[in-house]
Amino acid sequence: MRRLLLVVLAITLVLAGCTNENGGEGTGGEGGRPAKVDGIPTSQGTHKQKIDVGTIGHREFLLHVPSKVTGGNWEGGKPADPPPLVIALHGGLATMGKMEDLSGFNRLSDENGFLVAYPNGVMTTWNAGDCCGAAKIGDVDDVGFLTKLIDKLTGAGLADPDRVYVTGFSNGAGMAYRMACEKPGKVAAIGVVEGALVTECDPGRPVSAMIFHGTADGSVPFNGGGNRDFNDRRPFPPVSEAVEFWRGVAGLPEPSERVRALTDDTECEGTGKGDRGVAVTFCKINGGGHQWPDKASAMLWDFFASHPRAG
């Protein structure tokens, strides 16, 4: 009996050591890093996660954790210096896994030490306002979903709330616009690739933006046109309207400086930073189609890294 009691006591002590007050489960590495914080894995690599959004079922996302975070200093089970967070949204009829492959952000994450989250839309779509598909028809609260995702990662101390960035392609780019329109206090900057601003927008505060668009895009035409959705024959607005809108919100003048280009066919122009540190950069890809440019991710990260949330 005594031996049995000793065994039970030993097991109890081991189990007690596998949890901590921060929701971690055991130690995952050096410096007091737990294996999980509030159920979120902290080990290096890409982890498939679920999040409760208060509806039937759940929403999913992939979270990439770089080695610079896992090997950093941890205090009280959380990073002493929480890293930036980039949320990358897939295009219509795509998935979180396809966006992971398309963007190449994992490599940049490992090199620069920021987290990347790749959320999944509903039936491969995002409710970006007047677009697109099932998410729009079902009036899916994607703004609420992405807000909960941001709050979960920043609330756990795993990401810096002043350095949260949302980028996307096509339908996902439209969703990035909508997040900046409706949750400008949560988003420091957005990156838009071949997307359109098709939602009512009155942010009340400026948000930095980097916008890429090809002149030969047949899906979201550069000068406007096409159909916003399969059941909405209204044309997409020209990309120039979105660029001018965000510059206007920030009180920025006409472009005054040239930004390094992706290729010889790309022209990027910016205004420098406004009074609140906000900037808007527009990259026109001459002859570019509806695709994610090879070097867009690197340029987006450089832009994001220079633009924390406006004060």
Residue 215 has pLDDT above 80, yes or no: yes
Paired strand residues for 74: 79
Tokens of 209: 């933006």
- The better pLDDT of the pair 34, 32 is held by 34
In CATH, what number is assigned to the domain containing residue 72? 3.40.50.1820
Q: For residue 2, is it within any domain?
A: no
Helix, strand, coil percentages (3-state) for the chain, rounded to 5, are 30, 25, 45
Segment 145-179, tens digit of pLDDT: 999 999 999 999 999 999 999 999 999 999 999 99
59-65, strands of its sheet edge to edge: 45-51, 59-65, 115-119, 85-89, 164-169, 189-193, 208-214, 280-285, 266-270, 257-259
Q: For residue 265, is it within any domain?
A: yes
Segment 60-115, tens digit of pLDDT: 999 999 998 888 889 888 899 999 999 999 999 999 999 999 999 999 999 999 99
Mean pLDDT of 40-47: 96
Q: In total, how many domains does the chain have?
A: 1
Q: For residue 156, is it within any domain?
A: yes
Long-range CB contacts (< 8 A, 24+ apart) of 6-9?
A: none
Domain hosting residue 232, numbered range: 35-305
Tell me: cis bond preceding 132? Omega within 30 of 0 counts: yes
Q: For residue 259, is it within any domain?
A: yes
Mean pLDDT of 184-200: 98
Q: For residue 30, is it within any domain?
A: no
Identify the pLDDT of residue 257. 64
Q: For residue 16, is it within any domain?
A: no
What is the overall mean pLDDT for the chain?
A: 89
Residue 250 has pLDDT above 50, yes or no: yes
Q: For residue 142, is it within any domain?
A: yes
Q: For residue 14, is it within any domain?
A: no
